Structure 1
Amino acid sequence: MRRGAIQLSCLCVISLLAGNTIHAAEFAGGTGTSADPYQIATAEQLISIGSDPNLLSKHFVMINDIDLDPNISPAYVLDGAAIGSVPTSFSGVFDGNGFRICHLTIDSGEYWTGLFGSVGDGGEIKRLTLDTVSISGRASLGTTGALCATSSGVVRQCSVSGLVLGSDVAGGLVGWNNGIIEECRSICSVTATWSGGLTGVNKGRLQDCYASGRVSGEWYAGGLAGLIAGWVNCSYATCQVDGINAGGLIGGHYRLGSVITDSYFLSSASGGGPDNGFGIPLTSKQMKQVNSFAGWQFWGMGNDGFRISWFMPEDSYPELAWFSLVALPKISGSLIEEAYEVMEEAHVDVCDVVCDYDHAVEWGHVIMARPDPKASPGTAVDIVVSLGPYDWSSNPGTGEPNDPYLILIAGQLDCLAHQPELWNKCFALVSDLDMAWRVYSGPLVGAHGRSGLPFGGVFRGGGHIIRGLTLDGGSTDNGLPVMSGLFGDVGPSGVIRDLGLEDVSIRGREYEEQVAGMLCAVNGGRIERSYCRGILKGFGRIGGLVGRNTGVIENSYAQGKVADISARDVQGLYAGFVAENVLGAITTCYATCVVASHHGAGLVGHNDAGSVEYGLWDVEASGAEGSDGGIGLSTRDLMDVKVLQDNGWGGNPNWIIDAGRDYPRLIWEGTPGSLIPGPPSKPGGGKRR
């Protein structure tokens, strides 16, 4: 409902008086499908979405900024949610497309107050900014949020600023969250009985979000969320907070099992909220230092791929990357001269031109810009130009065991991903590879989705590192789980040795079953003296190094983070090293991965007639108390020579330890340290239990 509807445009008034609802022709374009969303260009088109229940499951995209200033028209003062409300929730997709809605004003006596009253399970709101809102929800026991009152869907890359007042539950962005809120920000003054800078109540997941402003609550008040019964990860708040039960980050929780990881708030001494045990307080100075935010990924600090959520401005607090960074023009496929012209028109400086191979882009055409698709303001970019597909017949090697194909640059690996007829050959890295900015939908080698062929050759890392591997999404039409990893399926004859992966970024799709490991999805061969570091988010069987192991893994480790992307999976397996070990053998390996799952395992998720000998994991770093195999140690013990000796690691020539300063490292890494003296003091120590 809304006030002053008679003062809307004649078209809308006639439509309402005639009892008709808005039709597709009255939008700026589109048919409401995912491929052709309705285009929203005016305030009238935006408000009219809520007038027809049949539109609430459609797709929409904004093509202009929209100003709802009441000084323009009194009709823009709404007396309830403009779009969707209980029980007719919005279940479509609303893409703000980077545009803004300014001066949203709602003065409501209804239970659900916000631009969207209710967003259902299938609903999604993304890339939308609300500037200078004024929201008042007056109903007793009502729920208020500037973007939406209640959400069971997905809210991603949205921002709000202004004033939000509620009677019972209120949040700057979302009043009551049962779904997922990712990469969102709220700069609001929020007041209610239960109030939070971003959301009043969170029963879902908050990921990579922040709130600033002031929060006041008669009962619970939190800088980020008033009350939680869900997940909060990699988020922060700088709000001033007042309330009977007040916290700089979270006001309180009402369900055991709520999880808060890598989340922070401005200390009360620096002008933030009180420390009530939820989150980690930081001073204003610490808030401006990247090193203060353990577990976060910052732009410019490694692989700046899709997973990078944060950017640290100079002398300021962390900002969301999507909000801070400059979008680069699309130049892929163009000639180099054309690319230079496009960049010049966009006022983007070109630093260098780099040549590389590519399986699809023909010689002389641009593969990509680096970084891509965004850069920090003032950053000069490189342009990568294609040498065309790589011809392996020109390689110095022949692919035989005593004469492997040599891999020197990233483009060769890109081309190998599309040549399964070579997957039974032998390869050797002769330099480190930088895979950053290339985003793949599945494994590069040995993938069911491309050929059904496993990798049956030998891949010799030679002590070199592949950096910046990025996999996003992926799907399969053969009824099998999606595979994700550098390698998809390694067959019985396949061997991977002496290889390091760093800055790995793998993200699956929510509720699409996946088998994933940073190095390998399914290993039926041998993995020796290898490691990986990165972030892996998926749904199903997710392991830090390997998803499913039926082969042999020796003298290897995994570090980083393994996460249930849905935050709700109760049947999957999530583990720091191997999700599922079926008749496989794991020997002298360890993991320190954070395992973000309700039932995560530190080392092995499920062991089915396999063996785990001398397997260790860091209980403190992982947050996982259990594992189906291996022994859990404290961080200190996993860096202790005597403890490692007692657990069967003494005398192993593959490992060194810088005692008390670092975890065990493979000798080929060349890090400080010395061999672990042997023999082991307990020959049987460290075996699976």
Structure 2
Amino acid sequence: MYKSGFSICAILIFLFILSAALQAQYSGGSGEPNNPYKISTVADWQTLMKTPSHWDKHFILTANLDLQGIMLSPVGNNPKAFTGVFDGNGHIIRNVVLQQPDSQCVGLFGYVDQNGQICKIGLENVEITGSDLVGGLVGFCNSGNLDNCYAVGSVSGSWCVGGLVGDNSGSLTSCYATGSVSGDRNVGGLVGDNFFGNLNDCYAASFVTGEKCAGGLVGGNMVGNLTACYATGLVIGVGAVGGLVGWNVNGTVNNCCSTITASGEYDIGGLVGSNRGGILTFCYAKGSIEGTGFGVGCLVGMNDKGSITACYATGSVNGRSSVGGLVGLNKAGSVNERPNVVDLVGLDKEGSISACYAICIVSGEDSVGGLVGKNRSKASLIDCYAAGSVSGNIYVGGLLGSNDDSVVTACYSTGSINGENYIGGLVGGDYNGSIIACFWDIETSGWATSAGGVGRTTAEMKTRSTFTNAGWDFVGETENGTEDIWSVCEGTNYPRLTWQIPSSDWLCPDGVGMEDFSYLAQFWMIPEAGNTTADLDKNNAVGISDLLLFCEQWLRGK
């Protein structure tokens, strides 16, 4: 009995000493959810790097760290991933230098697997080089979660290279990256490749260079979801180069935008370079887009069986063929025809475009149109407009360069037109197609003839009855429909799509201005004002919060 008691006592003492020794490896904590290991010093970080058995534990950063001069290795690798929780606690880690040009899964955290979480951490002065799956913070995020993280610096590699994450199939929320990112394929300012991943409220402001699939935010987005994200900066590549996403395959991009300069050879877009089966809704792009080949657009370079709804683009686009103010090349099947240059859509084959607009300066060679360069094979266009200038050589029109066996309904154009042969105010050439209830401005376009449509004066184009008499669905009438697709400030503006009109634009002319401010002021602090449109925040009163919302739209120039 004595020996047995002594043995038990010895074991307990050993376990106590072992536990104390393990805790002593860090600045405190036990690695449990309610008592995470405390990372307070560079020595603590070095311990974390060298102790894979702890990579499923909980950690909290309790001070800023400077890793200058420290030989770093990624936390988490293949086969031993990081599956724990790392809370940056709002602190910053500086001088993160990792040079592993022949390695995969390279980042401060190399491999974050399922259940792994990283939050509230910033990295500054990052210099990371790897081969594949290379990111400023995480090389490969496989079903992990990143929240409120950022990285500033330079990241380079070959395949799946991102300013924050190299390859992501997890979730990123409120994250950003700035600096430079370079690689060969799937290169993005924030994420190199987003495979079934989700990005919410994220952005990148970067200089991105890659050969194929290079994007200001994401290089390749395969069945991933992007919501409320944006990108600024410069993107340069060869093919599938986009201001936000280089290559979008069956992915969803909603309420996103880019203000960027993008250049390359083919499939170059201000928002998405190549959109294959993807869905874009309520997105826009502003910038300068340059392409030396085909499929160059202010919003999307090439749209293949994708869907684009309630989107717009402004700026300038220049390319050789299939160049458009919204989409360069739009198709739903194989195309063996010569590419075309357009203002809104390059080549629309068996596709449908609705409720979109473009105000881009576009130049090309043949089949150049303010809305569509060549519309063919049962394609349909409805409720769209183009207001940018169009210039080309042959088959040039304010709305369509040429229309082949397709239907165009309730569309208009106002831009100036310059060309050499087969020029039309609305359509350059029409072949077995139907153009229904469409108009162009004979004064601003400089052309009184067209292969289809009806020419009107500027005054007539700003008159509601011109369009309602032709069956257009306008606000305030039900005879032509109840969807209220169009609205117009008669005598001062052309028709606009109702989705593009800001909630503070109550009075004519178009745009939020002093006349709208006067409207808001007359309901200020009046009890019954909650029943008016001046109650922007819907709290049954017109007060400070409504004024702030009004000013926000005014300052945005809407």
> Normalising by the residue count of structure 2, what TM-score does the alignment of the two structures yield?
0.49
Bigger CA radius of gyration: 2
Question: Higher strand proportion, which one?
Answer: 2
> Normalising by the residue count of structure 1, what TM-score does the alignment of the two structures yield?
0.41
